[in-house]
Amino acid sequence: MEQFSLIEKQESLDVLNYQIKICEKCSLASSRKNALIGEGNLNARILFIALSPGVKEDIQNKMFVGPSGQVFNRLLYATGIDRKSVFMTNLVKCTLPKNRKPKKDEITACNAFLNAEIAIIQPEVIVPLGYYATHTILTKYPNNPFAEGRSFKEINGQLLTINGMKILPLTHPSALLYNPSFEMDTLKKYKKLQLFI
């Protein structure tokens, strides 16, 4: 894989971010306040992929600033990861009305943006958060765990290497807002990221 300088990465990301902000490929463009671009360290070893911006993220135009962001920050802190050292993005760039599940065409509309972000950042490990981000990332590859009939629950917290790419599916922080009792188990899985810091 060709390596890019920080300046090249920033220039490529600026072009991509402009395309994201003006995107009208699906109906979410009519209900969003902002199409949320990824943010963080352009030389990050860890790239997190969340599902979509929440209401607060849509208003503030920033990643993980709502209630699940507080959980995310807590998990990173307990794992020993500086939030400024990672790159964060969303599978779907616009907020989903009433926190509903994403539609297939909405995921498809954003897929090229996500592929471009991964190609620009060139992380050592991709961390999809939750079922939808994990399913979208893994189904890009043949012989992935979903093709073998495995569930998200089975691969959650397992470091996978597929086609030379390291992928660590993890629970989305928002799940802990509804099930706080899962926090210790979730933290144990997040701590596998210490390999990359």
pLDDT tens digits, residue range 59-98?
A: 999 999 999 999 999 999 999 999 999 999 999 999 999 8
User: Exposed, middle or buried: residue 79 (CB in 10 Å: 0-12, 13-18, 19+)?
Assistant: middle
State the average pLDDT over residues 45-71: 94
CATH of the domain at 121: 3.40.470.10
**The pTM of the whole model exceeds 0.75:** yes
Residue ranges of alpha helices (H) inside the chain are: 6-21, 55-60, 67-79, 104-121, 131-138, 152-155, 175-178, 183-190
| 1 in a structural domain | no
Print the domain residue range for 168: 6-196
| 175 in a structural domain | yes
| pLDDT for position 145 | 86
| 169 in a structural domain | yes
Q: How many domains does the chain fold into? A: 1
| 88 in a structural domain | yes
